[in-house]
Chain A
Amino acid sequence: MKFLRRFLIRLANLTTRRRADQRLQEEIAEHLALQIEENLSAGMAPAEARRLAALKLGAAQAIREHHHAEQSLPFVENLLYDLRYAVRMLLRSPGFSFIAIATMALGIGATTAIYSVIDATLLHPLPFPNPGELVRIQDDLPGVGARGVGISIPEWRDLESSGIFQSAAITGRGANVNLTGTAQPLRLSFKQVTPNYFAVLGVDAQLGREFDPRDTTPGYNLEVVLSDGLWKREFGADPHVLGKTVRLDNDEYHVVGVMPRGFRDQGSTSDEQNVELWLGAGFAGMPFPPPLRESRLRSRAVIARLKPGLSIAAAQGHLDALVDSLKKQYPSEYPVQTAWTIRLIPLTETVVGGVRQSLILLFGAVGLVLLISCVNVANLLLARTSVRSREIAVRQALGAQRTRLIRQLLTESLLLFLLGGIAGFGVLFCARSFLLRLVPESLPHLNAISISWGVLGFALAVSVTAGTVFGLAPACLMSRLDLTGTLRQEGRGAGGSRQRSRARQILVISELALSLVLMVAAGLLLRSFWDLFAVQPGFNPDRVMAIETWLPGPNDPTTDPYQTATQEAVLLREILRRSRTLPGVEEAAIGDETSLPLGHSDPTRLPLIREGLETMDNQAPLIESPIVSPEYFHLLGMRLERGRIFSDQDIETSPQVAVINQAAARTYWPNEDPVGKRVRLHLDTRGLANIAKPAWTTIVGVIADARTESLADTGIPLIYRSVYQRTSKEVTIFLRGQLDPSAISEQVRGQVQAVDATLPVFHAETLEDVLSSSLSVRRFSMEMVVFFAATALLLAGLGIYGTISYVVNEQRREIAIRLALGAQRGTILKMVLRRGLGLAAVGAGLGVAGALIVSHLMAGLLFGVSPTDLPTFAGVSGLLTAVALAASYIPALRAMRLDPITTLHSD
């Protein structure tokens, strides 16, 4: 405490020091004068009076110095001196300072920008309390190659009572529901969740309450919790919304609570994260299937909160024991060959899993840019040695300590780096709204990406670390001068700086090598992206628009106006007929959500049970099954390979038919003709309630493979069914022709609502847009890496330019003498260029080695191009060499045009 006070007083003294010293001096003079006066009046001779007075006072200068030493902080004072000096040095060479600060601003700004994205996604993916306790529970049947088969209600109850979890909740994956009664019927994302869902996440409602975790209603409890956004948008933030009734898919629910602002639901898809309604359900009564052990809830996820202090590994151990005992208890439900297991996955993993690699690549790339900018600035600092070596030599000759010199030089470089960091952060902060727009929508982030205090701290920490590391080396080299040599040379290019020029060459070579690595990465990504963009998708997205609508699915199926496929077919045929009359429409088709190419993130998969290979439902392979109208294949330009496509005569009462793609034929009927084979597809839960056993479906045709699931992936098995035979609540209307994208939504809405006014119409987009947004994360990382590579190339060019200029400047006497002795100017030019080329060659060689390692690490992000792609490597090396040559050409020209007479005279 006392120490602290003394420190503060001393700190304050830094500012008042001069005044205090002056006063001390005045007082002492005053004292002396009075003493002398008194001595004189006592009769002393003037000289004696002065001598005695001074003697009595003591050593005045020593007193002053002692007082000063006691009242100040030498370290801080020196630092202030150094800082003042450093600022003066920066101002004296504004060009150098500007370039150095701008380079660092670029490096640190870019790194900080990427860090802010990583901070919100990888580092803090879950905006819930104690996120480490949250896990996702996944049921697998590795024995039959099935993963994520879903959980049954009795299993869920076993988990709840196992003592491993605080609580476990079942949740839907995010689906759609029609909200009617508002100005326009709305389609909203909702999730069915068990009532303890919010308790698992640990988030409270801002208004009203959540579901009661002890609620044991078997089906829906007819309570709904709203998101803050929906509450503000559709209910005008009405505080009396609680207890109001909303109609969701024709069922009436009571609003019981509103979630807080900024609450985003967990999940890996934007559909899940944009959920705006939560419905409480027990998943054990109508409209859900009866709670039997073997009826697994497909397309449902289980999330749970572990008991505090329990690690995931330990919990997994307990869980394995539980699974083993359950298998013994119910041998018929868990046949040995299926090898039923339950896995715990950290919830963070399921949220960010897909983009981790892209983000790490970006961070690596931006780290290289930062490294290159640091090297560049270190290089600039070294270049200044030749200018300042005399100053430093003189100071050293006058007795300055080496540590003191290093400290001062380090202060200068730290100041440069810090100013650069602050400038970079400043630019980032000002441009944040613009930059955030570049981040693709599909990047999963529950936390808002923001430029926060943590990010500022990161920027400062990076600046200080970089400044220390990259300032120390030049400072040490600078302070180790050959005194006599430097002083005697009288500013003639320092010959004793061989060590420094080697250091500079190493720096330039590493800069070139690093930028080559980045450029190779960028080149490979660019080529993959290009290939991906140019890939033949197998369908024709040209002039096609997709518009969605949603048919309600009330809890009591008997109140559903579109309960059967026949009832729905009437509506769909009418919508198709009306759509074809719209201006510009040439073709129209209908499909479900899964049929929208590249536009669905988490399709439901159904077990495929082949005739003759009958297995238990939960042991069959899972297959995606789009439901489409007969016109779908022609509209999207998908070629029929064998058999036939659907016809208008395939209706609910006629035999069930299906069309598969070539991948499905290859996978499930290898070396066989699949046409005429029969399969059974187990239906989703809603259907299960009324249909005991689905009928056989006959395969009537094989369609050519198309990349409708992922552009990077051909050959995902698909089985198409007819929309006139199967109900589908999600309806996508496909239109081809000369369409006006701005008007089409209104036109289709008019036609659809003329048939049924309660249907929402939303989400009109062109297939081209769907296609390009499916590449958005890839495009984002590709563009960023290319930008970083360009920056790196620019910096490396500047670096090599600076070094060669410096070499020329250092050797100008030698060059002048050669010229005077009759050397050809062309030879001089070649000599300098060879120097630059040599540096580039070594840099490129090292860079290629580094790039080979990096390109293999990022193989997972590449498409259609090998990590050792020769054209990319050759092209990039060529580009780098060209830039190095161009950058050396200017100083080489300068060397060639040197006038020997003036040069030799001036030295």
Chain B
Amino acid sequence: MKEKPDVLQGTLALMVLKTLDILGPQHGYGIARRIEQISGDLLDVNQGTLYPLLLKLEHEGSIASEWGASENNRRARFYRLTENGRKQLRAETRDWEQTAAIIARFFNVKAEDLV
């Protein structure tokens, strides 16, 4: 199996947190669908890798899970964002934006600006 680069792992976690933040409690399949939907086909992620990540996030306390019923009345595990996760999301969003801004400035810079 090909190792995912760390950046991508980090971004996947951020995506999960953001999805839960916007849409409220979701089961695993739902999260996978939303990520697929939002990112389009640009992000080619094996959906299976999502579940170890969910376990890890829950272990770290960013999300919590409980049993519930899905739309078609199947028993499913629903994940929701915890207070801790919300804080983490805010911090990571800020970091991400900062990184993005810096990178953007590097891309926009021209040779004459630096003289």
Chain A residues engaging chain B, CB cutoff 8 angstroms: 9, 20, 23-24, 26-28, 30-31, 33-35, 37, 56-60, 62-63, 66-67, 70-71
Contact = CB atoms under 8 A, between A and B. Distances in A.
B1 A66 contact: yes
B77 interface: yes
Given A27-B77, A30-B29, A31-B29, A57 B48 contact: yes
Nearest to A55: B46
B63 to A, nearest CB: 13
Interface in B70-110: 70, 72, 74, 76-77
A31 B51 contact: yes
A60 B49 CA distance: 9
Contacts of A59: 1, 46, 48
A28 B51 contact: yes
B32 A31 contact: yes
Size category, B interface = 20 to 34
Interface string B20-43: 000000011100100000000000
Nearest to A27: B51
Contacts of B5: none
Contacts of A30: 27-29, 74, 76-77
A508 B19 CA distance: 73
A848 B48 CA distance: 74
B87 to A, nearest CB: 17
Contact of A63 (B48, B56, B70, B76): B48
Contacts of B11: none
Given A30-B76, A33-B74, A63 B51 contact: yes
Nearest to A64: B52
B12 to A, nearest CB: 13
Contacts of B46: 56-59, 63
A57 B47 CA distance: 5
A30 B67 CA distance: 13
Contacts of B28: 27, 30-31
B55 A9 contact: no
Chain A interface SS verdict (over half): helix
A419 B76 CA distance: 49
Nearest to B30: A34
A20 B55 contact: yes
B17 interface: no
Given A33-B74, A37-B72, A24 B52 contact: yes
A20 B52 CA distance: 9
Contacts of B74: 30, 33-34
Given A37-B72, A66-B1, A28 B48 contact: yes
A67 B52 contact: yes
Contacts of B1: 59, 62-63, 66
Given A26-B77, A37-B72, 11 more contacts: A23-B55, A24-B52, A28-B51, A30-B74, A30-B77, A31-B29, A34-B29, A57-B48, A58-B48, A59-B1, A63-B1
B66 to A, nearest CB: 13
A58 B49 contact: yes
B54 interface: yes
A71 B55 CA distance: 11
5 contacts: A31-B47, A31-B51, A59-B1, A70-B52, A71-B56
Contacts of A20: 55
A37 B74 CA distance: 11
Contact of B59 (A9, A35, A56, A58): A9
Nearest to A53: B47
> Which of B1, B29, B72 has the largest count of A CB atoms less than 10 A from its CB?
B29
Contacts of B47: 31, 35, 56-58
A34 B47 CA distance: 13
Contacts of A58: 46-49
A27 to B, nearest CB: 5
Nearest to A26: B77
A63 B50 CA distance: 10
A904 B113 CA distance: 99
B113 to A, nearest CB: 38
B72 A66 contact: no
A59 B46 CA distance: 8
Contacts of A31: 28-29, 32, 47-48, 51
Contacts of B29: 30-31, 34-35
A63 B49 contact: yes
Contacts of B49: 58, 63
A34 B74 CA distance: 9
Nearest to B75: A30
Nearest 3 A/B pairs, CB to CB: A58-B46, A67-B52, A58-B48
A67 B55 contact: yes
A24 B51 contact: yes
A66 B52 contact: yes
B23 to A, nearest CB: 16
A30 B72 CA distance: 13
A866 B113 CA distance: 101
Nearest to A66: B1
B48 A60 contact: yes
Contacts of A28: 48, 51
> Which of A23, A27, A71 has the largest count of B CB atoms less than 10 A from its CB?
A27
Contacts of B76: 30, 34
A210 to B, nearest CB: 59
> Which of B28, B47, B49 has the largest count of A CB atoms less than 10 A from its CB?
B47
Nearest to B45: A58
A67 B56 CA distance: 10
B36 to A, nearest CB: 9
B53 to A, nearest CB: 9
Contacts of A67: 52, 55
Contacts of A57: 46-48
Contacts of A23: 55, 77
Nearest to B52: A67
Nearest to A41: B72
Nearest to B3: A66
A847 B96 CA distance: 77
Contacts of A9: 59
Nearest to B72: A37
Contacts of A27: 28, 51, 54, 77
A62 B1 CA distance: 7
B8 to A, nearest CB: 14
Contacts of A37: 72
Contacts of B48: 28, 31, 57-60, 63
B68 to A, nearest CB: 12
Contacts of B32: 31
B55 A24 contact: yes
A57 B28 CA distance: 12
A833 to B, nearest CB: 67
A23 B59 CA distance: 13
Nearest to A37: B72
